[in-house]
Amino acid sequence: MQTTRFPDKNSWSTLLQRPVMDTSTLEKKVNDILQEVRSNGDNAIRKFAAEFDKVTLTDLQVPATAFEEAAAALDPSLKAAIQQAAKNITTFHRAQQEQSKVIETMPGVQCWRKSVAIQKVGLYIPGGSAPLFSTILMLGIPAMIAGCKEIVLCTPSLHPAILYTAQLIGIEKVFTIGGVQAIGAMAYGTESVPQVYKIFGPGNQYVTCAKQLVNKSGVAIDMPAGPSEVAVLADDSCVPAFVAADLLSQAEHGPDSQVVLVTTSEEVLTNVTRALDQQLAALPRKGIATAALENSKMILVKDMDTAIDMLNAYAPEHLILACEDAAALAEKVTDAGSVFMGNYTPESAGDYASGTNHTLPTNGYARAYSGVSLDSFVKKITFQQISPEGLRNIGATIEAMAAAEGLDAHKNAVTVRLTQLDYTGSLITE
């Protein structure tokens, strides 16, 4: 990790820059794949599975027998862990449900808002070097609570934990499709894969690019996303071994991940560096983590106010406050995906089982985006109802504003009703 001491504020944007990938040819490659899937459906999916994944696909949908075999093969202790995580995630997300409340803005004028589930959603679960079955919980559970009628899951991995988790939460339509072609299949629909209205889930740079391209053509996506990242703010009350473990837990995601340590203590820098070296040596994914650490920073600052200002400027996906006054510092955080407070709150708790969602904005998008929640799977539709009395009360206001904007038909939509009211004393019914 690169170490910087007392950087000038003018240098923060350069210092905190994320790893930059060359995407000059990426978009064309991805778009070509998407268009072939759009045109040729299942045949294109099979072609790209053979070309990129070196597999021959016959039936794209996972059969029911595969779920039963996965449940039988999975270690009982892992099944119990998945069940506990599912319970916690369900509890947290179910509490996000809102009841409609009618607001009378003036006598006779009633307005309200109602949450309505997005009817068709697609979930993408990468294969790669790790079977991310935890992401099925994070996306599938709020989709179920929201009441989405059709949930489609695409994944190149048939790991038993993925199939067991999908079955546990009630997802039945699972397809063995990965990469760009999976995004295309859900965005446009094929002979086998239903078209969806919104796509969720992480992925590599190709998948991320595919999601952004289908978004341009009218398919909603959860959020812009990039490589995973964590920032840790630590003072002398931290446990250096804990901080090192948290940094490595993100560094092992991929070589393009980034981790940042900000501290007011030279001693913390020294002790965390020592702990990092010790833990990295024993890490099975040492090569991946080592590459990520080359993109990563340790920064010494003069005081906590400076540290908080710097971290808000960085807007990390995950922010750990390994500090004595973590609760007070948390009140000053304005830009972060998810905050972990105190020495005994590892970021991996949020990744798996505490209950919060681990699908979070990266690459500084936490300045304007929230992580996935129940709200991500619903639309908020507004309703209004105006009585004859209400129209008399609000009518002149509407007429005056419409006339001032030169929209006479808007004004007339009120005037004809008020005229009828004056003539009959009540609204006409036919």
Q: In 3D, which of 193, 195, 150 has the Cα closest to residue 49?
A: 193
pLDDT surpasses 60 at 216? yes
H-assigned helices in 157-204: 160-169, 179-188
In this prediction, residue 129 carries a pLDDT of 67
Q: Residue 406 burial by CB count (10 A; 0-12/13-18/19+): exposed, middle or buried?
A: exposed
Query: Boundaries of CATH 1.20.5.1300 in the chain?
Result: 387-424
405 marked ligand binding residue: yes
Q: How far apart are CA 131 and CA 202, in angstroms?
A: 12
In this prediction, residue 53 carries a pLDDT of 86
The CATH classification of domain 226-370, taken from the options 3.40.50.970, 2.40.30.10, 3.40.50.1980, 3.60.15.10: 3.40.50.1980
Put simply, whether the predicted model's pTM sits higher than 0.95 gets the answer: no
Which one from 318, 347, 358, 399 is the annotated catalytic residue?
A: 318
Q: What type of residue is 247?
A: L
Q: How far apart are CA 25 and CA 27, in angstroms?
A: 6
Query: Boundaries of CATH 3.40.50.1980 in the chain?
Result: 26-223, 226-370
253 marked ligand binding residue: yes
159 marked ligand binding residue: no
Cα separation values, 210 from 28, 59, 70, 118, 427, Å: 10, 24, 30, 21, 53
Q: What is the pLDDT of residues 107-128, one digit of tens each?
A: 999 999 999 999 999 999 998 7
Q: What is the pLDDT of residues 384-409, one digit of tens each?
A: 999 999 999 999 999 999 999 999 99
pLDDT surpasses 60 at 252? yes
Are residues 34 and 210 in contact, defined by beta-carbon separation less than 8 angstroms? yes
Q: What is the fold of 387-424?
A: 1.20.5
Give mean pLDDT, residues 187-205. 95
Q: How far apart are CA 56 and CA 46, in angstroms?
A: 7
Q: How far apart are CA 83 and CA 163, in angstroms?
A: 14
250 marked ligand binding residue: yes
Dihedral in degrees, nearest 10, Cα atoms 346, 202, 160, 378: 90
Which one from 317, 347, 358, 399 is the annotated catalytic residue?
A: 317
The CATH classification of domain 26-223, taken from the options 3.30.365.10, 3.30.450.370, 3.30.530.80, 3.40.50.1980: 3.40.50.1980
Give mean pLDDT, residues 272-278. 97
pLDDT band (50, 70, 90) for residue 254: confident
pLDDT band (50, 70, 90) for residue 224: confident
Q: 414 by DSSP, 3-state: which?
A: helix
- Going 25 to 195 to 173 to 349, the CA torsion angle's sign is positive
pLDDT band (50, 70, 90) for residue 42: very high
Q: What is the pLDDT of residues 280-331, one digit of tens each?
A: 999 999 999 999 999 899 999 999 999 999 999 999 999 999 999 999 999 9
pLDDT surpasses 80 at 267? yes
Catalytic residue status for 150: no
Catalytic residue status for 317: yes
174 — phi, psi (to 5°)? -120, 130
Give mean pLDDT, residues 231-237. 98
Kind and range of the H or E run holding 5: strand 2-5
pLDDT band (50, 70, 90) for residue 430: very low
Q: What is the pLDDT of residues 143-185, one digit of tens each?
A: 999 999 999 999 999 999 999 999 999 999 999 999 999 999 9
